Amino acid sequence: MEILKQEQLQGGGKIQVEEAVSSIIQRVRQEGDAALKAYLRQFDGVDIEELHVQEKDIQEALSLLPRTLIEDIQFSVERIKAFAEAQRRTLTEFEQEMIPGVYLGQRVIPIETVGAYVPGGRYPLLSSAQMAIIPAKVAGVSNVKVCTPPTKTGEVHPAVLAAAHLSGADEIYRVGGAQAIAALAYGTESIGPVHKITGPGNVFVTEAKRQVHGQVGIDLLAGPSEVLVVADQFANPVYVASDLLAQAEHDVNARVALVTTDRNLGMAVLREIEEQLKTLPTAEVARASWDRWGQVFLADSLEEAISIVNDWAPEHLHVQTTNAYEIKDQFINYGSLFLGGLSSVVYADKVCGTNHILPTRAAAKYTGGVWVGTFLKVVTYQSIKQEGVEVLAPHCVRQSGQEGLIGHLRSANIRWSGKLDIE
């Protein structure tokens, strides 16, 4: 393997972020809404008295948007909902007599209340609202609370508000950052606590999710966006460069990489990126991401390319080779897989139906992304008849005795022999 472009590793302020977030969480727990309003003044530069977005605010936001944008939002809502419904049908309940007299079963129960965080930042991310809310509502979550940072006017961006409303949000609040995560986890006067928090965010939001995990469930700890493209000599360098820059424009810390088996393709992509950056309106962010974190690997073979991918474990994996579909099963570590040159990651980011809240920083080695199952609890139950006791109890009594757990032994034995202890 040869590296045609290497990332420029950056130092971080992990300890400072942890301490800052811990302080924010503690203050929200102690002061509730007062802390949220103080942080709105400090971080967002706005004075907001009413944190809860009202129905009139939603209707006003809808009236401000072009009809075509509302139609686009509705289209993506339908696509995301349809895919989530298809996923939900794969999760089934059952009851089975495993051995005579022993009936075991599985139930699938929705989480009662979920918090969906929708980031603000550089761009109004309509799709982030949809990805966090729609699968939860398809799962059957009865209450989805949305927290999102306000604009400089103190209002939620109308397109974000429309996307959240049309996706099925039950409550929407004008609050963002680590303080929003604290409010969702512990509750304030205005915002009731939830059972699970989902949605992407910046380093402070992610760290807050890490710190409140245990008090509530979380979906995953997603970092800056990632894409890794695998390409052979037949790939289109214009496609590849545009795919890398599409993710690079998300964040200056986005990680983008190309693994190719063809030197000419790799060099062509490097040149094409420079050309596209000249006319890209978001070039300031994309350039910083590319210069700091961009990588290009020249693999000796397709097998080595696949090995690099599985070790990298990218959030988005785009395979642009002539045999992309035939080799898909050889890739085992990724958040979401895109097969063929036409299968742009941005279609899934926005409208095709799969979820874009995905594992980053190699977490794809042990987890997938958000899906309808994120909001469901798969729980078990047992019903044991006397004939089942006759089979189970002897094994249970002996094992409990060996372990020294005499209370366990008695609980099993009384149902078998009618006596507490073995005689």
Nearby residues of 55 by Cβ (< 8 Å), 6 or more positions away: none
Nearby residues of 335 by Cβ (< 8 Å), 6 or more positions away: 314, 315, 316, 317, 358, 359, 360, 364, 368, 369
Q: How far apart (Å, rounded) are the C-alpha atoms in residues 319 and 308?
A: 13
Q: What are phi and psi of 343, to 5 degrees?
A: -85, 65
CB contact at 8 A, 167 and 136? no
Residue 316 annotated among the catalytic residues of the structure: yes
Catalytic residue from among 157, 250, 316, 356: 316
Residue 318 annotated among the catalytic residues of the structure: no
Sign of the alpha-carbon torsion through 62, 250, 231, 327? negative
Strands of 94-99's sheet in order across = 94-99, 102-110, 376-384
Q: How far apart (Å, rounded) are the C-alpha atoms in residues 368 and 414?
A: 45
Q: How far apart (Å, rounded) are the C-alpha atoms in residues 112 and 43?
A: 31
Nearest to 230 by CA among 254, 252, 248, 256: 256
Q: Are strands 102-110 and 94-99 parallel, antiparallel or unpaired?
A: antiparallel
Catalytic residue from among 157, 315, 318, 356: 315
Q: How far apart (Å, rounded) are the C-alpha atoms in residues 209 and 115?
A: 11
Q: How far apart (Å, rounded) are the C-alpha atoms in residues 116 and 169?
A: 9
Tokens linked to 336:
């979401």
Q: Which residues are catalytic?
A: 315-316
